[in-house]
Structures are given as structure tokens and as C-alpha cells.
Homo-oligomer: A and B are copies of this chain.
Amino acid sequence: MTRLLIKQGTFVTIDEQFSVFQGWLAVENGQIAAMGEGEVPQRESESATEILDGSGLLFMPGLINTHGHAAMSLLRGMADDLVLQDWLQNHMWPTEAKFTGDDVYWGSALAAVEMIKSGTTTFVDMYDHMQRVAEVTETSGLRASLTRGVIGLCPEDVQKAKLEDAIRFAREWHGQANGRINVMISPHAPYTCPPDYILKFVEAAHELDLPMHTHMSETLAEVEQNVRDYGCRPVEHLDRLGMFSRPTLVAHAVHLNDEEIALLAERKVAVSHNPISNLKLASGVARVPDLLKAGVTVSLGTDGAASNNNLDLFQEMTTAALLHKGVSGDPTVVPAVEALRMATLYGARSLGLEGAVGQLKVGLKADIIAVNIAQAHFVPRTDYVSHLVYSGRGSDVVHVWVDGKQLLRDRQLTTLDEEKIMAEAELCYRRLRA
């Protein structure tokens, strides 16, 4: 049995007291085995099989990206600064229609490289060819909540096949990779899935006892369409269809009225806030301060790299903390500590993983990242929570552990072949564009 001892580090725990302290932490059997302030007790020094000097490093829970489409990394920079429908219909969808399983594999692997190197330890992925994303998850050592996102605008037999694919994926992969893979059930969105089709996903989620994930109210146009087609707004629509009888995570939730916010809070629906994607596609600005005030769990997602265009969750934290101040006119909303919780604890809560990851606590899984704070943009030592949110960036992350296994050591990946993945991803893109 190995026991890693990190000593003389700075720790940001994101626990109830939100402590930031100088001290030590021990990892054994994939878990945080012990931790404490100040000097390392002698028994800890004696039982350690590996010791890491944490001087100049800040240790915190790994970041949790609660909405994305990893394989879309292949489309990064392919089409920007376009109106949403043009972007989707003339660029994204035609290219994605050509994606093979291999494209999904290499695109997701490219995303995994980027995520690990910017401190993400758990990611949500909604896409097609999900067994290939699961393979990447297994190989990379990342933790993931994966879901076969299904668009239902197709003939009944195709609908049926897609639903079966989603269910098969859930049965095969939920709990796999040493428990690092969880599965969610995902009708893509209310505007891409007819109501009776959504009902079948709700049914499947009950049967499999899995949470649900969907896109909701990303644009004003889709809310208006929902009202036209179904006589009510998306929140009420999904509630009527029974989706919220399952633990549900909705992505975006940009366009909400007060009643919808209240209903989301009542139904304990979690929201994945994707500020950068929402800005880039000009979808609008989600009412995050109001959601938080109402008690809704709000976490952070990058969305796919085609609408971001990176997967740096530090940047998502910064943007979330800044944007809502500027737009609301109130500089006290989404303070640094809340942005940090959104990227960690609230992410865990959104995925049913609270108490397993998202905090540094004895007994939790050792999903930990180390940030190099011996850099100019972390000086002076005033407030490390502020520094992480307002000054930090993904490239400051030097070590990453998931389940106690080190995935990044001194910015070198231990599980993935970065050079090969970049080359293969480039080839995939060239072939897709040929």
C-alpha cells in the first residue's frame, strides 16, 4: 500500500468553514486519508511511502466541468463570430454528421489533455459514440458523468435505435472504470425532442435509477418556440413531462422568469452555467445571482470547444465572477468564494457526487490539483481564493490526481500521449474537412 504525504503546502479545502491553511495532507487507497495544519505529525512522516514538498504550491479539489461535448474540440476555431443558426446548420452539424467513432475518440482525447492540464478532474460529456468517450475516460484516469445525447427529430425507428443506444451505454458503462464513470440519461433538448420521446427517457432514467441531463432555455428563440409548440415555457414543459422527478442537471438555463427559478429550486434541479459559450454565441446572460439566491445549485461548464474555445475551467470561474457583477451593476454578487464553489463543490452536488469529490476532506476521493503560486500573478499573499478566481488560469496547474492516481506531474501527462493525440486530432480534422 502506498501513502503519499504532501507537506508544507497551502490548502484550500472548500469545506463548510472554507478554510485556507498551511499544512499537510496524506493520500492512501485513492482517498484523502488524513490532513492537518502546520507541521507533519511524526506518525505521518513514518507511514508515508512518498513525500511531496508542497512549498510554493496550493492544493485544492479538482475542478468539475458540468457541461460539454469533448469531441467538439476537433472543431475549435473552425467557425467563429457567426449567428447561432448559421454556425449550427452550416458549420457544426454538417461536420459533426461525418464524425466516426475514431473522431470522437481523438477529439475527446484532445479534450482530456486540455482538461487535465488545466485542472479539471471530473467532466460531463454529452455526445454520440459514447463508448469511445468512455474509453478515453478509462485510459486518461479522469472522472466523468457521461451521457448519450439524443436528438429526436427523426423517424420513429431511428428514435427507437437512439434510445436503445443510450440505454445500452448506461447499462454497460455506469459504475465502470473503478467507479469513475457515471452515466446520465439525456434527451438533447426540449426543442430537439418531441414530448412523447422525452417521456421515454424519463421512464428509462427511472428504470435505470440514473439522473438526467439536458440543454434548456439556452436562447430566447427556443423558449418562444416552446411556448408556441407546447403552450408553456421549457421549465414547466419538462416538469410536466416528469423529468424533474429524477435528479436533473440542465445546461445553460439562460432565459428564465421568476416562476421558473422558483420551480427549479423547488424541484432541486441543478443548473450548469456556461458563461463563455453563452457570451460567444450571444445567447444572453443567465440570471446566476437570482438562481443562487433562490437556492439553486449552480455549477460551471465550458460547453464544447467550438463555442468557447478552450476547456479551461479557471477562465469559466473568472468569467462567472466578473460577468454578473458588470451586468447586474452590483460588485458584490458571485464573490470569488462562490465562483470557486461553483467549479468544485456545487459541481459535485450537481452530479450527485457531493461527499465523494469537490472538497478536501478526510474520507473523500483524492481528486486534487496543485497550483503553482510562486508566480508574480499570485503575489502578494493577500487572499488565495481571490487569486485563484481573478488571477489564476489553467496553466498554473502543475500536478493533478484523480482517485489518488497522479495524472499530471510537473505539467507532464502520465496517462496520455500528448504528442500523438494532438497529431491524430489534427488528422481527424483534416479528414473531416476534406
Contact = CB atoms under 8 A, between A and B. Distances in A.
A418 B404 CA distance: 33
Interface size class of A (residues with CB under 8 A): 35 or more
A310 B390 contact: yes
Contact of A322 (B279, B381, B421): B279
A326 B81 CA distance: 11
B380 A429 contact: yes
A88 to B, nearest CB: 12
Nearest to A416: B376
Interface in A188-223: none
Nearest to A386: B77
B329 A284 contact: yes
Contact of A376 (B110, B283, B331, B390): B110
Given A280-B325, A282-B325, A282-B329, A312 B377 contact: yes
A329 B284 CA distance: 6
B309 A391 contact: yes
Contact of A379 (B76, B282, B322): B76
A309 B76 contact: no
Contact of A76 (B80, B380, B426): B380
A383 B421 contact: no
A77 B430 CA distance: 45
Interface in A386-434: 386-387, 390-391, 393-396, 418, 421-422, 425-426, 428-430
Contacts of A82: 331-332
Nearest to A383: B77
A377 B428 CA distance: 16
Contacts of A383: 77-78, 80
Interface in A150-177: none
Interface string A369-389: 000001111011111101100
Interface in A292-342: 305, 308-312, 315, 318-319, 321-323, 325-332, 335-336
A143 interface: no
Interface in A102-122: 110, 113-114, 117
A51 interface: no
A348 interface: no
A86 to B, nearest CB: 9
A376 B309 contact: no
A282 B391 contact: no
A77 B328 CA distance: 22
A265 interface: no
B425 A380 contact: yes
A430 B382 CA distance: 9
Interface in A232-253: none
Nearest to A430: B380
Contacts of A227: none
